[in-house]
Amino acid sequence: MSFSIKDSLFCLLQLNAISGFENSVADVMQQEFSRHAKEVWRDRLGNIVARFGSDKTDALRLMIFAHMDEVGFMVRKIEPSGFLRFERVGGPAQITMPGSIVTLAGSNGPITGCIGIKAYHFAKGDERTQSPSIDKLWIDIGAKDKADAERMGIKVGTPVTLYNPPKMLGNDLVCSKALDDRLGCTALLGVADAISETPLDIAVYLVASVQEEFNIRGILPVLQRVKPDLAIGIDITPSCDTPDLDDYSEVRVNQGVGITCLNYHGRGTLAGLITPPRLIQMLETTAGERNIPVQREVAPGVITETGYIQVEQGGIPCASLSIPCRYTHSPAEVASLRDLASCIQLLTALAAMPSAHFPIEPDTGVL
């Protein structure tokens, strides 16, 4: 059966996998990789790795990766009343929490809940307009007391995910929770399908990684076995075509995948990526020769595993491809199937290139 971007993405979006609980997505990724790859393994942390291409020991090793986990919550306390206190896992947008529907992975099966909000009729002053801090919020699963919640399968540590099944909007846009980064995982599956029957000059390792939203370092154990010469990450980036961000940058949905020039943690530059100019040129040249739409991005506040991969093993050249996404880390993220397709096309073209195409030596060029 031929690969379908939409069907594959929708399949992954319906799974729940906060950081540290990625097994549902990992099982699908491992199964799909196994249909195409020469070798597939899952490491002890849960990363899924698939090997394609050249078997030569001296072949250039290209690692392409995307993370499986999504932002969410974890039960911190069960109140005597049966309401649940919770903590964030990753960075779900706090302003969207009150009134959200969530799914809890109870020991007896999934449980639907909602994040409570003070009744509007009795709210006063700022309570009607300001989002309360997380310690003032709770999850309501309909339990009559603590014992009832426990009988339903709730414990301290139960993972909680946002609920919003995927749906199509106009102009090939998708709305769902967890587009960050099931878009990237779908791209990996698309590349796997495209290169599975193609003789490659290089060795390609596709990696579905864990715990990016929690500590951004879950992929690091993979490096010890793969020892990549070059790494390219796939993730989302905020699309700046909405009224609130229209003057911030030129990144837009339906304008192609983004090529990261710079990103770093929004609270400081202790970790981030300045993409080597030679890699930006490689990506843009490859895209241009094949009429694949791309756009450049500078994204403070965005950080991915590349910030840590690049300083491993004597230095690993890294690049990032970013799929524009509206309303990031909310229950209703929005992104484009066209941009996802351009990401798959670009990575597939790169995988088919001879090793001489990849500039992995020290940089001397300019942007």
Residue ranges for the binding site for Zn(2+)? 67, 180, 213, 235, 329
Buried b (16+ CB within 10 A) or exposed e, 109-129: eebebbbbbeeeeeeeeeeee
Contact (CB, 8 A) for 305 and 209? yes
The DSSP secondary-structure symbol of 290 reads T
**Joined tokens for residue 264:** 């770093």
Residue 330: HSE in the Cβ half-sphere, 13 Å Cα cutoff? 14
Cis peptide before 181 (omega within 30 of 0): yes
Question: Is 284 in the active site?
Answer: no
Question: In this structure, how many other beta carbons lie within 10 angstroms of the beta carbon of residue 108?
Answer: 9
Region of residue 142 (phi > 0: left; psi between -120 and 50: alpha; otherwise: beta): left
Binding annotation:
67, 180, 213, 235, 329
**Joined tokens for residue 302:** 């965005």
φ, ψ at 21 (rounded to 5°): -130, 50
Q: Which residues pair with 88 in a beta bridge?
A: 73
Q: How far is residue 27's CA from residue 34's CA, in Å, rounded to a whole number?
A: 11
Task: Choose, from 32, 70, 212, 297, the residue flagged as catalytic.
Answer: 212
DSSP 196-207: TTS--SSEEEEE
Which amino acids are annotated catalytic?
212
